[in-house]
Structure 1
C-alpha cells in the first residue's frame, strides 16, 4: 500500500551531487535532492518510529520522489515537474516560443554519428530564433498536455511554472584543526534551496514550495533533518490526491497509436549510459521493469547532460562510488511490438524504470507514460 507525504522545509536545505569539494574545488550550488536522499530520510524515520536497528532490510522499503510542488495559502497543491528534454525555448522578434523536438528522419544528403536504428530528434517546425532561458519546472497539467502532443504557451509556463530553484548562499569560515579557531583567509560558501514563501514588495507571496513523496511505509508527522548541515524539515502525511494522477483514456490512446513515450521525472540510472539495460543492446527491444508482457523497441531519445550521483553507505561507512545518471526530463520514445497487457498505465505510471532493483526501490527513474504515434 502506498502512503503519501508532504515535506515542508523550515530552513534552506543543502544537497550535494557528489562533485569533489575541497580547497581546489567549489561547492555545489542549490542542487535538487536526489531520490536516494529521500529514501535515506524515510527509511531513517521508519527505523526511528518503529524502534528498529539499522539493517539491510531497511533498504527494501520502496520510496518515490521527491517531486517539487507549489502550495497555495488555501492548501492547494500543484506539482512542478522538470522541463522535458524535447522542449526548446527560442526567442523570435521579441517573444519566446516553446518548440517541440520530435523523432524524424534526417534531410537528404545529411548524416550524424547516431546509431542507424535510432531516429534523430529534430525541431518539429523550422524557425529562425535564438535559444532563450525559460522555466525549468513545469506545472503538471502543462507537462501532461505536452506529452499528449498539444502545444504549450511560454506565458503559461512563465506564470504557472518555476524559472529555477530559489537559492540562498551562506558564507562560512574554515576552522584551524589544532586551535579550533577561525583560519584566517579561508572562506567557503554553501548553496541551499530556500523553499519558504519569497518576500516581495508589498508583503509575502501567497504560496511556498514543498516536496511530495510516496512510500510503502506508514509514518507519523514529525520533524526531520533532510539534507546536509542538519537543516530542519517537517514531514506531513498527505492525501493521495496531491500525487499526480493519469488522465482518463491514456491506456486506450497508447493502444490506438501503437507507441509509448516515457518522460523521466527523477534521474534514471542505466547500465548503458542513456540506454536502459533492460533493452537488448543489438535490437533495442525489451520489456520495461514490472511489465514483462509488454515488448517495445526504442526509437529515439532526448537527454540533457548526465547527472553525478553519489552518497554515503551506512552499511560500510564509506562514500559510494560516483555514478552517471540520466537527468530528469529525459524523453524516450518506444514502438509497441505486441498488444499491451491490461492495466498498463497503472503499472507504468510514475513507476521507476532504472535497471537495478535497488535503484528502483530508491526511486531512480520515475517515468510519466504517454501515447506516441511512431508513424507520424
Structure 2
C-alpha cells in the first residue's frame, strides 16, 4: 500500500548540481533535488527506524518524487510541475504570451536533419516575439489544461506558479590540515534553495514550499537531514491534498484521441539519450515499462538541455559515474497502436518510464499522461 509524505525544509537545502567542484569551480549553484536524493533519504530513515542493516534490499524499495508543492497557511498543498518544453514565453509588444509548440509536418520546400519518422515542432501561431524568462514551475492543474489544448495566460502562471526557487549562497573557507587554520586564497561557495515564505510586493506570503513523496514503506514523522551540509528538514505523514491523482475522464479522452502525451515530472534516464530504450530504435514502437499491455509509436519529442546526474556510492565508498538525464519538463507524443484494458492510466500516472529498473525504483522519469490526437497533426 502506498504511503504519502511531505518534506518541510527547516533551513535552505543544498543539492549538488553535478558540475565539477573545487577551488577554481566557482559557485555550485542551487539545484532541485534529484529523485535519487529523495530515495536515499527515505530508505535511510527506514533503515534507522527499523534498526535494519544497510543492504541491497534497501535499494529495492520504490520511491516516487520529489514533487514541489505550495503549502497554504491551512496546511493544504497544491502540487507544482516543471514548465513543459512545448511552452515558450514570447514578448509581443508590451504583453508576454505563452506560445505552444505542436508536432506537425514541415511546410513545403523546407527541411531539417530530424529523422523522417519524427514530426518537427512548430509554433501554433505566427508571432515575431522575443523569448523572455518566465515561471519555471506551473500549477499541476494548469499543466493538465495545457496538455489538453487549453490556452494558459502568462499572468495566471505568474500568480499561481513559481518564477524560480529562491537561492541562498554561502561562502566557505578551506582549512589547512596541519594548522587547522584557514588556507589563504582557498574560498568556495555553495548554493542552497530556500523554501520558506518569501516577501513579494512588499508583503510576506502566507505559503511556503514543500516536497511531496510516495513510497511503499511506512515511516514515522521525524527530523531528517535532506541534502548536503546536514541541513534539517521535517518528514510529515500524508498532507491535505497530498499526492496528486489523475482526472477521472482522462483515460477516456486518451482512448478517444488515439494518442498520448507524456510530460516528465522528474528527470528520466534513457540508454539512447533522449529516446527511451524500451522503444525499438528503428520503428520507434514499444511499451512503457509500467504498462507492457500498451503499444505506442513515438511521433515527436520536445527536450531541452540534458541534466547531469551523479552521486555517492555508499556500498563502494566512491563517486558514481556521471550520466546524462532528460530534464524534467520534456514532452513525448505517442500514437496508440492498440486499445489497452480499462485502468491502464493507473499504471502510467506519475509512474517512472526510465529504462533501467533501478532508476525506476529511484523515481527517475515520473510521467504525466495527457490526450493527444495524432491524426490532427499529420
Mapping for residues 358-369 of structure 1, pairs under 5 Å? 358-369=358-369
Cα deviation, 1:276-314, whole Å, max 9, x if unaligned, reads 000001000000112111111000000010000000011
Aligned partner of 2:83 in structure 1 is 83
CA distance in 2, matches of 1:344, 1:213: 22
**Which digits, 9 at most, give the CA deviation of each residue in 1:54-92, with x for residues without a partner?**
000000000000011111111121111100000000000
Secondary structure of the 2:27 match is coil
Going from structure 1 to structure 2, the CA distance change for 1:43 and 1:163 (only over 3 Å counts) comes to: same
- Return the offset for 1:126: 0.8
Q: Is the 8 A contact 1:4 1:240 kept in 2?
A: no
Could you say which residue in structure 1 is the equivalent of 2:12?
12
> 1:203 Cα shift?
5.2
State how far apart, in whole Å, the 2-side matches of 1:177 and 1:114 are: 55
Counterpart in 1 of 2:292?
292
SS of equivalent to 2:46: helix
SS state at 2:79 partner: strand
Aligned residue number for residue 166 of structure 1 = 166
Q: Deviations over 1:338-364 (max 9, x none)?
A: 112221111100000000110000000
Mark the runs of 5 or more structure 1 residues left unpaired by the alignment: none
Contact 1:172 1:189 in 2 (8 A): yes
Moved more, 23-32 or 186-195: 23-32
How far apart are the structure 2 equivalents of 1:284 and 1:121?
18
Q: Cα distance, 1:185 vs. partner?
A: 2.5
1:190 aligns with 2:190: yes
Query: 2-side partners of 1:261 and 1:298: how far apart?
Result: 10
- Contact 1:259–1:372 (CA under 8 A) maintained in structure 2: yes
1:260 corresponding residue in structure 2: 260
Quick one: distance in 1 between partners of 2:218 and 2:124? 46
Q: Tell me by how many angstroms 1:200 deviates.
A: 5.3
CA RMSD in angstroms comes to: 1.1
The residue that corresponds to 2:40 in the other structure is: 40
Q: Judge conservation of contact 1:3–1:217 (CA < 8 Å) in 2.
A: yes
Query: Is 1:155–2:159 an aligned residue pair?
Result: no
CA distance in 2, matches of 1:338, 1:240: 37
Q: Which residue of 2 aligns with 1:100?
A: 100
Q: Secondary structure at the match of 1:223?
A: strand
Superposition map of 1:331-346 within 5 A: 331-346=331-346
List alignment gaps of at least 5 residues for structure 2: none
Cα pair distance change 1:297/1:200, threshold 3 Å: closer
1:59 is aligned to 59
Please tell me whether the aligned partners of residues 75 and 239 of structure 2 are also in contact (alpha carbons under 8 angstroms): no
Q: Which residue of structure 1 aligns with residue 131 of structure 2?
A: 131
**Larger deviation: 144-153 or 191-200?**
191-200
Asked if structure 2 preserves the Cα contact closer than 8 Å seen for 1:348 and 1:367, the reply is yes
CA deviation map 1:246-282 (0-9, x unaligned): 1121111011110000000000000000000000010
Query: Is the Cα–Cα contact under 8 Å of residues 22 and 188 in structure 2 kept in the other structure?
Result: no
- Could you tell which deviates more after superposition, 166-175 or 278-287? 166-175
- Whole-Å Cα distance in 2 between the matches of residues 177 and 75 of structure 1? 47
Residue 119 (structure 2) aligns with: 119
Measure the CA separation in 2 of the matches of 1:307 and 1:201: 33
Q: Which residue of 1 aligns with 2:232?
A: 232
Relative to structure 1, the CA distance from residue 213 to residue 108 in structure 2 (aligned partners, 3 Å threshold; closer, same or farther) is same
Q: Deviation string for 1:10-44 (max 9, x for gaps)?
A: 00000013211012322321100000000000000
Partner residue in 1 for 2:311: 311
SS in 2 for 1:117: coil
Q: CA deviation at 1:244?
A: 1.3
Give aligned pairs, total: 376
> Aligned partners of 1:279 and 1:262: how far apart in 2?
14
Change (3 A) 1:273 1:168: same
Asked if structure 1 preserves the Cα contact closer than 8 Å seen for 2:10 and 2:234, the reply is yes
Does the Cα contact within 8 Å between 1:19 and 1:308 map onto a contact in 2? yes
- Secondary structure, counterpart of 2:14 in structure 1: coil
Name the SS for the 1:241 alignment partner: coil
